[in-house]
Structure 1
Amino acid sequence: MPEMPEVETVRRTLTPLIKGKTIEKVILWYPKIVATDHDKFVNELPGKKIICIDRYAKYLLIRLSDNLTIVSHLRMEGKYHLTASVRKFGRMQLILTGTERQTTGIGKLGVEPNSSKFTSEYLINGLKRKKKNIKNTLLDQSVVAGLGNIYVDEVLWRTKIHPLSQANKIPVEKVSELHDQINKIIAEAIKLQGTTVHSFLNANGQVGGFQSKLQVYGHVGEPCPVCGTKFEKIKVNGRGTTFCPHCQVIYK
């Protein structure tokens, strides 16, 4: 599933392709993509101008004239292409601009990395309320929005925290370190236009560049660059999770 760096890359590459253009016609080839009223989606969009594209966590917010917004989630392997052919992807909702938190899943999300609200104190207080393991906590989006399986494995390895550590048992100094590494990795991944492991492409059809920087994800059975111990892989709530059994400390 595209994570925050990949969705931000889509936003940046899609914007110059469609900003300022007017929607002439909408054909709904795959109705399940649209979570709101289908007739309204097809009939109200023609004639609307694309003002800009915003983003929150893994959601794209396509701002239109007449105070409308298309909220788009790429789901597992969604892509945007300017092309003559049509493919199904993601999920869309047509809403009034400014109602994102009241009418879509955005309202359930925590704050984004590298935002003014995402401070060390915020993360410390957020994890204090979580009795489940840190891997699931970072994936559920309620504390930090935008991280997925790839980047969670990377930040936990960099901070030497075992993925099965109980979130509210992690020492404060480690949580501060986790905060800093989340910001750093997300910034690095956005700069390199995301990670292509399976199928991610930006709006220009190009792959990301952060996959060459991955130290843990996709390296099961290989030696840890720090200690030489072979990386192991377990399932955490159904998600494949790679970690170093020597470097990463479990807090219970």
Structure 2
Amino acid sequence: MTRSHRLHDKLPCAQSAAADNASRTRRCSRCAGESAGSPEGGALLCLSYDSLIELVEHLKACQEIASTRTVNWQRFCGRSEVLAFLLQASYQLDEGVAPIILQLLQLAVSAPAAAAAGAGGKHAQSSSDSDPSSMSRQLARQLIGPGPLPAGTARFVRTFLLESNATAIRWQAHALVLSIYRSATSGPTRRRWSKLMWKLWAAACPSYGRKGRPSFVDLLGFMSLKTTEAEDKVRRRDRPAL
């Protein structure tokens, strides 16, 4: 069989996966409800048992496709609003659904190896500076944007890094936030992240005890260190001109 024939055989599978992703995410959106409220202040969605089961089935199907065809999943996410929907749904739905949604987000905004590690639980992804792939960086920037952090970012961090009682979920969220932060190449965006983390530390962290602090403090320290290093570089660069 020639190479062109092999590629031709694989094309229907890729197209079928993309169509299935689109269909599944539309059904997830209908199950969760299109009028879920504002991204930051929306209340938790109380779905009926049947709706919740249907939603989980669709999410698991998306998870299976995203895990086996990560590049196709990333391409699909690049031409739809699915990431914004998943980010909002992650903290507005029942916590039992969160691990699947967090993995779908992680598979989109991280290089495949990092995404697989991020699903592995505590300390799955260390605070080092390895660059994700170009496509995953673009998706992370698409999700967060170059301007002010989107409404709901603080809610996401507070929900999963401070309020969650599940250690695996806290470290899953840690890996996701770390991937998004690394993808932010602009200094202002990284400073906004650092500012947000310090704001939550001062206002909320003392109320949650030790359970949420390891993953949160790890990110806080990493972001603060990177912000300080960037400011030092600017000062060293500007010093000869003064």
TM-score range, shorter chain: under 0.3
The structure where helix makes up a greater share of residues is: 2
Structure (1 or 2) with the greater strand fraction: 1
TM-score by length of 2: 0.25
TM-score (norm 1): 0.24
